[in-house]
Structures are given as structure tokens and as C-alpha cells.
Amino acid sequence: MSDSASSETTSERTDAPIREKFLAVRGEVGKAVVGQDGAVSGLIVALLSGGHVLLEGVPGVAKTLLVRTLSAALDLRTARVQFTPDLMPGDVTGSVVYDAKNGDFEFRPGPVFTNIMLADEINRTPPKTQSSLLEAMEERQVTVDGETHPLPKPFMVAATQNPVEYEGTYTLPEAQLDRFLLKLVLDLPQRDAEIDVLTRHASGFDPRDLAAAGVTAVVTADDIVAARAAVARVDASAELIGYIVDLARATRQSPSVKLGVSPRGTTALLAAAKAWAWLSGASGVTPDHVQAMLLPVWRHRLALRPEAELEGVTADTILRSIVQQVQVPL
């Protein structure tokens, strides 16, 4: 056996226990949330990739409960901010206040100084406050009154929003949307899943008491650091990188698309595909991994032409057709 092959085998052995912990998170979340396995996997992928997640769905499909349960399954600090029309940027990032005791101004950190920030109903607050998260999401820091304050590591924003056609919502700016690694759409549950939900509630399940449901922390901050290092070691061939670029170029050339996927979108897809490959136990990224992550990573990065929207064309339908058209590397 060659040295490279033996080192790969050793790293696989050391990665396996950490991978099992992340797979166990699904089981912990499943104790409180039914029928949203895809969204749980997406949140784990974002955590492994160092990205942020936007959860979209009608009221009542357990968007907030999903993030709260994930936080309970991770041994990390969490903070929740309810975004309202009167929320100010300083309410999120923190502000400089006068300390009468010391006779000086001091910075008082806002709820963004945490590991997982739940931005609940982010599209119910005006763009000015939405944009206050931009620096935190991209640079992992906050600048207030000319002073820069680094955020804790790891840091992830998990934002929820109602569909934009709902009354009292503000569309997220394109620059903000592009900072989210994934956009996960939570649909209404199937009949069997909804029966399971009601059965649990009939048996005394309380969504406000996750400890009583048996949700426990199975992943620590050190586990996340080790898992991210393992994800970085996942191989991506030159052919696969070319495949991702071809997919992105196809979005830019689509007649229904006004603005296609940017280079930030291609790097995001590669990062998510590597995380999904590692979770699946693969040593390298395959086209299947890329295709699995394509919709959640790119659906919010396409700007459609107005005439296409009038005809009922969606970003998801365009991306599915592009996957069919672009040649897959052998």
C-alpha cells in the first residue's frame, strides 16, 4: 500500500466518529420536527461549509422550531431575533452607549455575537435593518462607530422568511440573498407526516420544551472545527470543477434569466458539494453531489426576466432543465 493510500485510510478512520456525530444530529432534530429531513441535511451542510441558511415557507411549517432544535442538538451559543418593522440596525449588531459609572462610552454587543443566530421572519423588517447583517455574514465581524469587533467562531445565520407575496414583507436585497449559502424551501407536510405531528401533540409533546422531547447536544464546537478540516480534504477533480463552471455559464445564457449565477455562486456550490460528499462518506465530489446541492445553493441567485415570471417560470424549473442539458463528466 502506498503512503498516500494509507494516509487516506487513516483520515477516513479518524473522520468516521465525527461524521457519525453529525449524522446523529438528524436523529436529535427528528425528535421534535417531522418530515423535514432535507432541510436538516441542508442546515448541517451549511454548518460544515461555514455558510448561512435562508428557510422559506408559509407560517406554521416549523421553520423556527427546526432551527431551535438544531441549536439544541449542537453544544453552541444561540440567539434569536424577531425581525419586526420597527427593528433598528443597532438592535441586531449592538451599539455604543454611555456608561455613567465610568463616565465613558462603551460598546454593548448585540444578539449577533453568538454562534448560531436565528433571524426570525427576516423579510418583515425594512432593508436598512436587513443590510446590517451583511458585514457580519461576509466578514464575520461588526463595525460600530469606526471600531471593528470580531464575532465568535463558528458563526452562522439561520434566517426564516415567509413567501414574498405575503402582506407586510420586504424583499431581501440581492446582495443580502447572495450571502446565504443555501435557500431551503419548507413545504406543507404530507398526510402521513402531518398525522405523525398530531399524534405527538396528542401524546403531550410541547414544542417549547425540547429537553422534555429528549433533544440533547451531540456535536461540540471542536467537532465542527475537525469536520470542516475533513471537508476541506475532500477531493474535487478538474473535470468536476469544469462541470460546475459549465452549469453556471448555462444559467447566464438562459433566455429566461436576467442575471445568472456569479463566481460566488460557483464557489458556494463547490463548498456545499464537498460537505455533502463528506457527509455521504465519499472521498471525492461526484456530479451526483453537485446536482443534489444545485437547487438549494443557486435558486436564490437567479434573477428572472419579468416576462418569464409572468409565464410562471421559476428558478427551480430553469435549474432542473439546465441539469438535463449540460453534459456530465464521465
What residues contact residue 276 under an 8 Å CB cut-off, 6+ apart? 41, 45, 289, 292, 293
> 147, 188 in Cβ contact below 8 A?
no
pLDDT in tens, 141-165: 988 888 888 999 889 999 998 876 6
- For the record, the C-alpha cell of 219 comes out as 456535536
CA angle 67/211/47 to nearest 5° reads: 30
Neighbours of 306 (CB within 10 A): 8
Which of left, alpha, beta for 271 (phi over 0: left; psi -120 to 50: alpha)? alpha
Rounded CA separation 153/43 (Å)? 17
Neighbours of 31 (CB within 10 A): 17
Neighbours of 139 (CB within 10 A): 12
Mean pLDDT of all residues in 82-104:
85
pLDDT of residue 271: 95
CATH number of the domain at 3-233, out of 3.30.590.20, 3.40.1190.20, 3.40.50.300, 3.40.50.720?
3.40.50.300
Average pLDDT value for the chain: 87
Q: Which CATH architecture has domain 235-330?
A: Orthogonal Bundle (1.10)
Neighbours of 262 (CB within 10 A): 14
Which segments of the chain belong to CATH 3.40.50.300?
3-233
Instruction: Look at residue 261 and give its three-state secondary structure.
Output: coil
pLDDT of residue 11: 56
Q: Which amino acid is at 99?
A: D
pLDDT in tens, 229-268: 999 999 999 999 999 999 999 999 999 989 889 999 999 9
* CA proximity to 178, closest of 130, 144, 111: 130
Rounded CA separation 111/108 (Å)? 10
* CA proximity to 292, closest of 148, 187, 182, 142: 182
pTM equals 0.87
What residues contact residue 76 under an 8 Å CB cut-off, 6+ apart? 115, 116, 154, 221
Which segments of the chain belong to CATH 1.10.8.80?
235-330
80 CB burial (10 A radius; 0-12, 13-18, 19+): middle
pLDDT in tens, 101-131: 777 888 888 899 999 999 988 888 888 888 8
CA angle 114/62/314 to nearest 5° reads: 100
What residues contact residue 275 under an 8 Å CB cut-off, 6+ apart? 44, 45, 48, 49, 231
Lowest mean pLDDT among 19-33, 166-180, 292-306: 166-180
For the chain, report the end-to-end CA distance as a whole number of angstroms: 27
